[in-house]
Amino acid sequence: MYVVCREHLEEAIDEFVDVYEMPPDIYKLNDITFTKWTAPATCDFCDKHPIYLVV
């Protein structure tokens, strides 16, 4: 699972495919909510605000 900014979306997709050998599901963080999970404040690859959840 990756939480990423727009700039690092492709990198997260590539890493996901390398690990799981299948395409990920991609969600906009503003469009989803979880009861027991809060999105991190920064992208997994940099310090920018995350936009996407790649799972």
Domain count, the chain: 1
What is residue 34's predicted lDDT score, i.e. its pLDDT? 86
Give the pLDDT score at 35: 87
Residue 7 pLDDT level (bands cut at 50, 70, 90)? very high
pLDDT for res 13: 98
Model confidence over 21-53: pLDDT tens digits? 999 999 999 999 888 988 899 999 999 999 999
The first and second tokens of residue 52, run together, are 């996407």
CB environment 11-30: b (16+ within 10 A), e (fewer): ebbebbeeeeeeebeeeeee
Mean pLDDT of the region 9-15? 98
* pTM of the full structure: 0.90
Which range of residues forms the domain containing residue 22? 2-54
